[in-house]
Amino acid sequence: MAGELSIQSTLSRAIVPVMNVSQLVYCLLELRPAETLSNVALPLNLCLALDHSGSMGGSKIESLRDATMLVIDMLQPQDYISIIFFNNKTEVAFPSQQVGDEHRRNDLKTRISRLTAGGGTNMAPAMEAGLVELRKQMPVGVGAQGSGGGVNRLVLLTDGITEKEKKCLEQTDNAARLGIPITALGIGKDWNDKLMQEIGQRSGGEADYIASPDRIRTHFARTVQQMQAVALQRASLRVRPALGIDVRSIYRAHPLISRLNAGRVGERDLEATLGEIERGHGQTLIVEFVVPSRPAGSYRVAQVEVEYDVPQQGMARQQAGLDVLLTYAHDPSTVPPPNPHVMNLVEKVTAFKLQTRALEDLEAGNIPAATQKLRGAMTHLLNQGDTELAATIQEELSNLEKGKVMTSEGRKTIRFDSGKTVRLDNVAK
């Protein structure tokens, strides 16, 4: 097996007692690119699709110009950038081109400085134009089957409700087929957070809420840094559970929480797309197993395999894997307590699940079910020390109990910040 990726597994309970009933066991999988890949950066192929409708006036458009200039400064001369401006019309302001020397950077910045706000909002044509520009730097025939050796990204920013949402999702599916993740960013309170979240998830990218204009710069910089950190691409996970083992769910726990849509392969195997793996933290996954009653002894729970490409070295479909083993013990006194690090992450994922389901209940008009789940999520967050998000949930619970609706700002904070509670930067190992 190739050595460009290491996989480490840790069970919530490495030893379980012999019982006459099934038991729940969580498996933490930590995927890390090899240190030998740490200093190799892939060429970037970035497109910014930027809303400059009338509602983007004032500090929003000023901050957007500033953040776009920062992106130009962060890119390397060999990187490619294209920029789409849109309101109710779409303008390819900068066709795909290399950032090049200082003269070209200054020319780009000068043209960006003239961006003004006006008009309505129609995202789908801008998304389509952005994909056209990105394809210019992707070899013919390269799509979801490969990246062409670079890191591709469409960054979509808006502050309003777009026309023709169905068309936006059609372009999202096109991006997914091409292997182009979309970073979908909404600023302020008057945009469709559910749509933007779906655009991010369906494309293999992510979505986020920008509460104030001064934060656009931070979000743009983070996106470029994430692209620059990509070491492995086209990663996919396969879990082969042993006979009698049930896989209940698979969640990504870092860099952001998300449920992985695992498809069945054959009779028992499950396969899920992981996408890009960055240097440093890599990716962290939580697999939820239901294990049957068994006599004392050691047993294999599952085989885990990850396939991936190493574009820096021109290698495709490399593999790394391991066996997940579990011991059953007769004597309960020999069973150690659950692993605190694994359970810490499980609790964060649980809070995310509850918040996600609460928003679904609200959309369905089931207020009692939503408030119950939000209270549960708040308890988990307080246990984790996330008092800020817990306070937001408390405020929205108060609104719901008074017969009011959830505020737009509160709903967006809950929808997007819940996934950030499991970032590992501040989690003690």
Q: Are 238 and 305 in contact (CB under 8 A)?
A: yes
pLDDT at 155: 98
pLDDT digits (tens, 9 = 90+) for 45-101: 999 999 999 999 999 999 999 999 999 999 999 999 999 999 999 999 999 999 988
The structural domains of the chain, ordered by start, are 5-38+231-333 (2.60.40.3670), 44-228 (3.40.50.410), 340-426 (no CATH)
| pLDDT tens figures, 358-415 | 999 999 999 999 999 999 999 999 988 889 999 999 999 999 989 999 999 999 999 9
Query: Is residue 206 over pLDDT 80?
Result: yes
Burial (0-12, 13-18, 19+ Cβ within 10 Å), 210: buried
Q: What percent of the chain has pLDDT over 90?
A: 78
Reported as a single tens digit per residue, the pLDDT across 91-144 is: 999 999 999 889 989 999 998 998 999 999 999 999 999 999 999 998 765 444
Mean pLDDT of the chain: 91
Q: Is the distance from CB of 240 to CB of 319 less than 8 angstroms?
A: no
Q: Are 196 and 207 within 8 A, CB to CB? A: yes
Beta-strand ranges (E) seen in 311-346 are 315-329
Please give the average per-residue pLDDT across 241-250, as a whole number: 95
pLDDT for residue 359: 94
Cα gap 35→44, rounded to integer Å: 21
What contacts 227, CB < 8 A, 6 or more positions away?
44, 46, 151, 153
CA pair distance 42, 45, nearest whole angstrom: 10
Banded model confidence at residue 160, pLDDT cuts 50, 70, 90:
confident
CB within 8 A of 350, min separation 6: which ones?
380
More confident residue, 23 or 40: 23
